[in-house]
Amino acid sequence: MKSFARFSCAAITVSVVTLMATLAHAADRITGHHFATRSEAMAPHAMAATSQPLATQVALDIMQAGGNAIDAAIAANAVLGLVEPTGNGIGGDLFAIIWDAENEQLLGLNASGRSPQALPLEYFLEHGYTSIPARGVLPISVPGAVDGWFEMHNKLGRLPMAQILAPAIAYAEQGFPVTEVIAYYFEQNAKVLKNQPGFADVFLANGQPPQKGKRFKNPDLANTYRLIATQGRDAFYRGDIAKTIATFVQEHGGFLSYEDLANHSSTWIEPVSTNYRGYDLWELPPNTQGIAAQQILNILENYNLAELGFDSPEYVHLFVEAKKLAFEDRAKYYSDPDFNEVPVQQLLDKNYAKERAKLIDLKRAGKAYEPGNPPTEGDTIYLTTADEHGNMVSLIQSNYRGMGSGITPTGLGFVLQNRGELFALDPHHRNVYAPGKRPFHTIIPAFVTKDGKPLMSFGVMGGATQPQMHAQILINMIDFGMNLQEAGDAPRILHEGSSEPTGEVMTDGGVVSLENGFSDYTRRELIKMGHRLQEAVGPYGGYQAIWRNHEEGVYYGASESRKDGHAAGY
């Protein structure tokens, strides 16, 4: 496949202090892929890529047992909720983009939950809050992940849910060895959450978080999974699990009710696309931030990035400024479409992107930008699976900040998310808090097609990092000719400090972090342009990807070298 030499990926995520040395050694690879830390995985029948090896293996086992990519994604997500609760779990939300091979179409699933009906905006204003707290009972919204599983399964699944959840139940009962990066995040989360109700009972045995290499068991989560497997989604939203969640939250001063859980539903939605140099990038519309990646690419399509080169101050400068512009629109417009009309197609208009690009000073960093006026007409896991039938799943699932709110209802074995923190409290803001409203969401799955054919399922976890890295992965492959693994391993550009959907406004240009691998020359030139640079360890995201080679009938897989997981197939 002629274009394939330019297209292949991998991923990035946490605090790996040896990254500089890793990238230096990678330059010696005989294949010439300068940044690649390893080769792409390749297999003829099926592929899975997750951030933890046990989850990858379970996904493959499920497909070898007759399940499809949808079954495998659910099974892997359930295992990750056990082995990587520092990033996800059934107390959180879920989004997915699925290639339905039988019907040859892309499907989008929004399985995010809504805020409590009994909690009004006035509560926060009357109690003097300027923002919604990050921890405790107030940022809790309805967990949507379990309903998302059953929506996917009812539409496209093959195996019984009991079989799909069996591996996660077995690991929860028998225990699993905690891997290195996850152990690090257990320790960091424990420092913040140790006093939250119920947290220590599950995650701090003898006062200590799970340690690297130690076997960790979670029998409470095993029981919860077993109830879901045997009684279905209503066990979670209308049965004993729902009653336990609501009672526990309200006993500790929260507002989430049984009725909030019982009334929850997911939504099948149309993914939206933009074409970047011949490839269609598909994202989910708001209340996610997916279209920010597309807005960044639409702006950058006006420049010859390949000519500038990967390690050039001009490219990094253009990328950062395009991100700033896209995030101004993100701060103003992205919100729950049930409460606002979000001008998605107008924000993705190519002529609009050209006008926005004109605001970029090629020599100086912008300190502040206004959101645009588009033309009018009237923390997290990411996994991906692909099967022998051609189905491909791009799935992202999260508690938001690591282990979410920290609130861990008695006997259930999981924490509840703190996604509600991402509402604004300004009554005039589109993303202002309201009862029964879905908050702005950072988690975004992605998919690439070309000429109507499915090519690539990918994602990069990590808050506001995600749209920046979605864009960089495609730029690395399309403009700079990297393969699937190298595109994720290559050092990343991260801009922080933009205006936010929670009400913050950028006035100082923010700060830029460059991973090791960018030259001192590029760093110096960026400083001359007025960019503020800082060193950062860990916030660069966690990537997984699967590429489909139609000519050979082969899948390529790539996985984040900064995490514990891997890609594998058969």
The catalytic residue among 50, 224, 274, 380 is: 380
Nearest by Cα to 152 from 222, 102, 95? 95
380 is catalytic: yes
CA separation for the pair 146, 165 (Å, rounded): 12
Token pair for 87: 């990033």
SS3 457: strand
The Cα-based distances of 569 to 119, 328, 386 in angstroms read 47, 41, 9
Nearest by Cα to 375 from 342, 347, 340, 335? 347
Beta carbons within 10 angstroms of residue 156's beta carbon: 19
Token pair for 111: 């399985």
SS3 247: helix
Beta carbons within 10 angstroms of residue 154's beta carbon: 11
CA separation for the pair 189, 209 (Å, rounded): 9
Contact residues for 127 (Cβ-Cβ < 8 A; gap 6+): none
In the block, residue with structure tokens 């660069």: 540
Nearest by Cα to 232 from 167, 172, 173, 165? 165
- Is residue 431 a contact partner of residue 334, using CB atoms and an 8 Å limit? yes
H or E stretch at 407: none
CA separation for the pair 542, 223 (Å, rounded): 30
CA separation for the pair 437, 205 (Å, rounded): 37
Contact residues for 211 (Cβ-Cβ < 8 A; gap 6+): 178, 183, 186
In the block, residue with structure tokens 């390529």: 556
To the nearest 5 percent, what fractions of the chain are helix, strand and coil? Answer: 35, 20, 45
- Quickly list H helices, 395-531: 465-478, 484-489, 520-528
Contact residues for 308 (Cβ-Cβ < 8 A; gap 6+): 314, 315, 318
State phi, psi for 428 to the nearest 5 degrees: -95, 0
- Is residue 115 a contact partner of residue 434, using CB atoms and an 8 Å limit? yes
Contact residues for 182 (Cβ-Cβ < 8 A; gap 6+): 52, 83, 84, 86, 564
| Catalytically active residues, by annotation | 380
